[in-house]
Amino acid sequence: MGMFDNFFRNSKKSSTYKPVFLRALLDIADLHDPKKSERMAGEDWLCRVGDRLRLDLNFIAIRYAKYYWDMEESFHLRQTQDSHGARIIRIIKEQMKTWGKRAPPGILQLESGGMEAFRKKVINQAIKPEVLYHLRTDMPDLYVRLGGNIIELDYGLVEFLHEHKTIIRQGLNGVIAKYLEKLNRMTPQIANKIDAERISRKPLNPRFKEQMHKSQKSRCFYCECRLVRTHVDHVIPFNYVFSTDPYNCILACPRCNCLKYDRLPLRSTYEEVLDRNQEMKFVGRGIRKFDRRSYRQLFNACRQEYNGNKRPFIPERCV
């Protein structure tokens, strides 16, 4: 299967579309799993015909949309050089209006009948014009188009992908990360964000929590009310820094923590965090030490690349 080799070596990447499409396609590998007992999302859109696999693009669309929806909702990463932004993101933003403030849809929700019109848009306005045509140049033998939403692949590919799934997935993630790093120059942890489903938030080390209680005199960092229930707040939003390092954590009351959500605080409040960091000694292995200058840079980078035009969080002082 030299075509994957060719894709990794020679393909021109001017967006994340192609590697994201291939990552979605990679799931056909699970068809070959003899231990597979659960139904795979979108399985009905796959059908074996002799030595060919017939695939309805809806199978790709639900995975493709899920990647971009999750990335947009959580990380606001730029996905294309195009100054108008990615078309797939515009389609998703449109859909978000009817979806409301709920968490992004899971793959099974995307598969459901209610999302049919959305999937159709994803296929006709994003996947067909932006991926299928261009992928043809990189991997001419990957599929044959049969018209409508149907493409046909060599069934041998299922077995091949099953055998090499992990390494191909890592390769594709690497391609996506490399491209996103070019476009989102200052954003931390891009590679981990792409594989985010596997990563959960680590809680703050209890030792640091105790230290913070002392330094804050058990009061909320923002509104200064006495802490009864305590939340750990990521001063620069977690989804931007994507780590729970103590330099970026303070203790807050649940109300401030929830109201702040994924916003930045005022710059003046932020300066107080810098002072706090200088006073506190975060000792321990693996603790990143930020000097004032680099931590200020991180704040500015977050404002430019992540925050958009959201207002900064201003706490209401408690009475």
Positions touching Zn ion (CB under 5 A) are 220, 222-223, 253, 256
Cβ-based nearer residue to Zn ion, 157 or 220: 220
Cβ-based nearer residue to Zn ion, 72 or 233: 233
Give the 3-state DSSP-derived string for 209-274, with helices as H, strands as E and coil as C: HHHHHHHCCCECCCCCCECCCCEEEECCCHHHHCCCCHHHEEEECHHHHHHHCCCCECHHHHHHHH
SS3 assignment, position 15? strand
CB of 295 to Zn ion, least distance (A): 22
Strand order in the sheet with 144-147: 46-49, 52-56, 150-154, 144-147
CB of 231 to Zn ion, least distance (A): 9
CB of 268 to Zn ion, least distance (A): 16
Q: If you compute the radius of gyration of the chain from its CA atoms, what whole number of angstroms results?
A: 23
Rounded Cα gap, residues 242 and 288, in angstroms? 13
Cβ-based nearer residue to Zn ion, 84 or 311: 311
What's the Cα-to-Cα distance from 272 to each of 118, 210, 266, 281, rounded to whole Å? Answer: 46, 19, 10, 15
Burial class (CB in 10 A: 0-12, 13-18, 19+), 162: middle
CB of 306 to Zn ion, least distance (A): 23
Cβ-based nearer residue to Zn ion, 57 or 253: 253
Q: Are 146 and 54 in contact (CB under 8 A)?
A: yes
CB of 220 to Zn ion, least distance (A): 3
Rounded Cα gap, residues 136 and 133, in angstroms? 5
Cβ-based nearer residue to Zn ion, 223 or 274: 223
Cβ-based nearer residue to Zn ion, 96 or 314: 314
CB of 216 to Zn ion, least distance (A): 11
24's tokens: 């979605």
Rounded Cα gap, residues 188 and 180, in angstroms? 11
Q: Are 46 and 151 in contact (CB under 8 A)?
A: no
The candidate with the shortest Cα–Cα distance to 262, out of 203, 230, 306, 299, is 306
CB of 251 to Zn ion, least distance (A): 9
